[in-house]
Structure 1
Amino acid sequence: MNLVVKSALAGFVVLAGFAPVSSFAQDGSCTCATAYTGVNPIGSIGNVNGNVMVSQVAGYGPAQAGGALDFGSRVVVGGKGSASVNVGGCNISVPANSTLDISRIGNNICLNVLGSEKTAQTGNSTGSSNNNTPLFIFGGMALGAGILAATADKDHGHAVSD
C-alpha cells in the first residue's frame, strides 16, 4: 500500500472517531418508542427539506419523501435541512444538525434523535447550531468511498507472478 492510501486510511479512522456514538446500544433512551408488528419496512420518510441523507445498503444517499426505513436506518440532517419520519405510532420531525437512529429493543422500535439541542419536535425548528457532525459523516463516507476505489483489485483475482 502506498503512502497516500495509508495516510487516507489513517485520516478516515481519525474522522470516524468524531462521529456520534450510535444509539443502537440498548439503553432504553428513545425519543419515541412504538411496538414492532413484524411489518417490513417498518416506516418511511415523510418530508425532506434541504440537506438530508439516509443510510442505505451501499452507504449513505440522498433522502427522498416516501423512502423506506428499517432497523438500522439512520437519517442525517444537515445545517439547513429538516425531515419527518413515520414509524409505527411515531411521527417525528428531525431538525437541522441532527441524526435519527432506528433500532429494535425487544419487541419495540426505538427512534432516537441525536446531535441537536432540541429533541423531536412537531413544529418548525428555529435557531442555529455550530454542530459539524453531519459534515464529518458525509466527509467520512466520501473518503471511505475514495479509499475503496483506490485500493480496489483491478486485476479481478488474476495471479501476479514474482
Structure 2
Amino acid sequence: MNLVLKSALAGVVVLAGFAPVSSFAQDGSCTCATAYNGVNPIGSIGSVNGDVMISQAAGYGPAQAGGALDFGSRVVVGGKGSASVNVGSCNLSVPANSTLDISRVENKICLNVLGSEKTAQTDNSNNENKTPLIIFGGMAAGALVLGLTQDDDHGRPVSD
C-alpha cells in the first residue's frame, strides 16, 4: 500500500472521530417538526396532569402549565401523568411513561416523543457530554490504522 493511500485512509478515520454527533442523527426521527423563527422560548407546556417533570439548563423540576420550552428541554411523564406541549405548529400530547425531547435539526425544531420502551434505552439523565470520548476514539482508530499499515522495511537486505 503506498504512503498516499495509507495517509488518506488514516485521515478519513480520524475525521470521522471529529464529526459532530448531530450529523449522525436522522431528520425522520422527529414526531413533529416545525420551522424555527428565531424566537426564544420556542414554546410552552399546555397542560400537566399527575407526575410530570421538565429538564432544562438548571436541571429537573416539576412541570407547570405555561412553562417555557427551549432547545434541549425534556419533558418526562411518569406512570400516572400526561402533558401537552405547544411549539410552533406542533401541538403534542405526551402520554404516561414517555419522554419528549426538543432539539434543533438544521433550521427546524424537532419534537420527539419516546415511549417507555425507548426511553429506557436512550435516557441520558446524567447529561454526560460524550464529545471527548468520540474525539479520543477517532484519534485512537487513526493511530491504529497508521500502526497497522506502517511499512518499516524489516527483513529487507541493506544495499551498498
Q: How many residue pairs end up in the alignment?
A: 103
Which residue of the partner structure matches residue 27 of structure 1? 26
Give yes or no for contact 2:98–2:119 (8 Å, CA) kept in 1: no
Q: 1:107 to 1:60 in 2, by over 3 A?
A: same
Query: What is the percent sequence identity of the aligned residues?
Result: 78
- Cα distance in structure 2, aligned partners of 1:82 and 1:32: 18
Give yes or no for contact 1:24–1:103 (8 Å, CA) kept in 2: no
Q: 1:76 to 1:25 in 2, by over 3 A?
A: farther
Which residue of the partner structure matches residue 71 of structure 2? 71
Alignment of 1:8-27 (within 5 A): 26-27=25-26
Give yes or no for contact 1:54–1:76 (8 Å, CA) kept in 2: yes
Post-superposition shift, 1:58?
A: 2.0
Which residue of the partner structure matches residue 43 of structure 1? 43
Post-superposition shift, 1:95?
A: 0.2
Structure 1: runs of 5 or more not aligned: 1-22, 118-130, 142-162
- Cα distance in structure 2, aligned partners of 1:108 and 1:69: 15
SS in 2 for 1:71: coil
Q: 1:137 to 1:105 in 2, by over 3 A?
A: closer
List structure 1 runs of 4+ shifted beyond 3 angstroms.
none
Alignment of 1:2-151 (within 5 A): 26-28=25-27, 29-116=29-116, 133=120
Which structure has more strand as a fraction of its residues? 2
**TM-score (structure 1 length as normaliser):** 0.57
**TM-score (structure 2 length as normaliser):** 0.58
Q: Indicate the RMSD between aligned Cα atoms, in angstroms.
A: 2.6
Which residue of the partner structure matches residue 8 of structure 1? none
Give yes or no for contact 1:34–1:89 (8 Å, CA) kept in 2: yes
Structure 2: runs of 5 or more not aligned: 1-21, 128-160
- Cα distance in structure 2, aligned partners of 1:88 and 1:112: 14
Post-superposition shift, 1:27?
A: 1.3
Which residue of the partner structure matches residue 130 of structure 2? none
Q: 1:84 to 1:105 in 2, by over 3 A?
A: same
- Cα distance in structure 2, aligned partners of 1:132 and 1:70: 20
Q: 1:71 to 1:137 in 2, by over 3 A?
A: closer
Which structure has more helix as a fraction of its residues? 2
